Amino acid sequence: MTTVSPDQIYEEVQARYGRIADEFKLKVQNDAACCDSEADYCGADLYDTDLTTLPEDVTGLSLGCGDPITLAGLEAGQTVLDLGSGGGIDCFLAAERVGTSGHVIGVDMTLAMLEKARHNQANLGVTNVEFRQGFIEDLPVENDSIDVVISNCVINLSPNKTAVFRETFRVLKPGGRIAVSDMVTQGRFTPQERADMSAWAGCITGAEDVADYVAAMKTAGFTEISVRDKAEPDVELAGTPQDTGSARLFSARITAVKPPTSSDDAGKLGKTELLPALDQL
Ligand SMILES: C[S@@+](CC[C@H](N)C(=O)[O-])C[C@H]1O[C@@H](n2cnc3c(N)ncnc32)[C@H](O)[C@@H]1O
């Protein structure tokens, strides 16, 4: 059986997205159109969101598989974390929604992507966004500090999804939530298919079966987990057995909640449920 180490996966994924960022930079300099064959799923048309506020320099390097911004329903003042922020498209869209009283952090492991994102930020003059280099399995982010975690076509690339969800849970405030677009499967890829590093880095064979994906989220502590096929959003898949023998790959909308702490619950109860007790004083 062919086995691939996590380090090989990180190297392959980093090399691919570094190459895409560098090629895109050259294309912009030469005023050529995006995208090349490797980035042939460049996805600005994936969004229900209005993208006209952003320049082609940002929307042209959209490598996602969905629209986490619409899914997240962000509000002014929130702190948002984008896992695998790439050229920054979702960070800039999130920054518009949370406003100057909010804050957005993008984390990415690939230096060329971070450089591109920071260059875009300087051009846009946006001050409520920052980009940090790091791994989504070991986030450079404080405990209990984030209202909403978003991500677009990144978690499937990780060789350790359990660590990604553990870290995501750690950094969310109690009551915080995730709104993620990601590639998942119904049915599992074979070990041979998983060993195809080019397909893994291309957001295909790293994708996890929905049941395994949901199990990793539950292990981390998430509740109210929902997984829906982007093409069939009315059908809930989180609770259904998936293993169909071969893997059906699709783009999913994934949401979940970090439960509020019991003191938060007590705070919510305070105004109503505690009133009769106060009346008896
Ligand atoms: C498919 S691109 C998506 C980029 C961006 N979310 C978008 O929608 O355009 C994947 C990005 O995730 C980053 N990435 C992949 N695995 C990562 C990991 N384990 N830790 C941090 N970043 C990672 C890559 O460097 C790349 O920029």
Pairing of strands 146-152, 223-229: unpaired
CB 2 within 8 A of CB 38: no
Q: Whose CA is nearest to atom 4 of ligand 1?
A: 86
Distance CA 262, CA 182 (A): 31
Residue 1 belongs to a domain: no
Pairing of strands 232-236, 248-257: unpaired
Q: Whose CA is nearest to atom 20 of ligand 1?
A: 135
77's tokens: 């003042």
| pLDDT classification of 145: cutoffs 50, 70, 90 | very high
Q: Whose CA is nearest to atom 12 of ligand 1?
A: 84
Ligand 1 centroid – CA 237 distance (Å): 25
Ligand 1 centroid – CA 223 distance (Å): 25
Which residue from 223, 227, 229 is spatially nearest to 256, judged by alpha carbons? Answer: 223
Distance CA 138, CA 144 (A): 15
Distance CA 105, CA 57 (A): 20
Rg (CA), the chain: 20
Ligand 1 centroid – CA 79 distance (Å): 20
Note the pLDDT tens digit of each residue in 175-211: 999 999 999 999 999 999 999 999 999 999 999 999 9
Choice from 104, 108, 139, 230 to test ligand 1 binding pocket (greatest atom count within 8 A of CB): 108
Provide the number of structural domains found in the chain. 1
Is the pLDDT at 109 greater than 50, yes or no?
Answer: yes
Could you identify the residue written with the tokens 């406003």? 99
Residue 115 belongs to a domain: yes
Residue 211 backbone dihedrals phi, psi, to 5 degrees: -65, -40
Amino acid present at 202: G
Ligand 1 centroid – CA 158 distance (Å): 9
Residue 73 belongs to a domain: yes
- CATH number of the domain within which 266 lies: 3.40.50.150
Task: Find how far residue 35's CA is from the centre of its chain.
Answer: 22
Q: Supply the pLDDT for residue 59.
A: 94
Ligand 1 centroid – CA 83 distance (Å): 7
Point out the ligand 1 atom lying closest to the alpha carbon of residue 158. Answer: 19
User: Who lines ligand 1 at CB under 6 A?
Assistant: 13, 17, 62-64, 84-87, 89-90, 108-110, 113, 135-137, 152-154, 157-158, 203
194's tokens: 């998983």
Amino acid present at 251: S
| pLDDT classification of 276: cutoffs 50, 70, 90 | very low
Residue 243 belongs to a domain: yes
Choice from 154, 165, 166, 168 to test ligand 1 binding pocket (greatest atom count within 8 A of CB): 154
Q: Supply the pLDDT for residue 256.
A: 98
Which residue from 257, 188, 249 is spatially nearest to 65, judged by alpha carbons? Answer: 249
Entry field: residues in the chain: 281
Note the pLDDT tens digit of each residue in 30-89: 765 544 445 444 455 789 988 999 999 999 999 999 999 999 999 999 999 999 999 999
Ligand 1 centroid – CA 248 distance (Å): 22
Q: Supply the pLDDT for residue 269.
A: 45
Residue range(s) defining the domain that contains residue 238: 6-279
Angle at 114 (CA atoms; ends 112, 116), nearest 5 degrees: 70
Q: Whose CA is nearest to atom 27 of ligand 1?
A: 86
Point out the ligand 1 atom lying closest to the alpha carbon of residue 65. Answer: 8
Ligand 1 centroid – CA 261 distance (Å): 31
Residue 48 belongs to a domain: yes
Running DSSP on this structure, what letter comes out for residue 128? S
Note the pLDDT tens digit of each residue in 151-173: 999 999 999 999 999 999 999 99
Note the pLDDT tens digit of each residue in 114-143: 999 999 999 999 999 999 999 999 999 999
Ligand 1 centroid – CA 281 distance (Å): 58
| pLDDT classification of 25: cutoffs 50, 70, 90 | confident
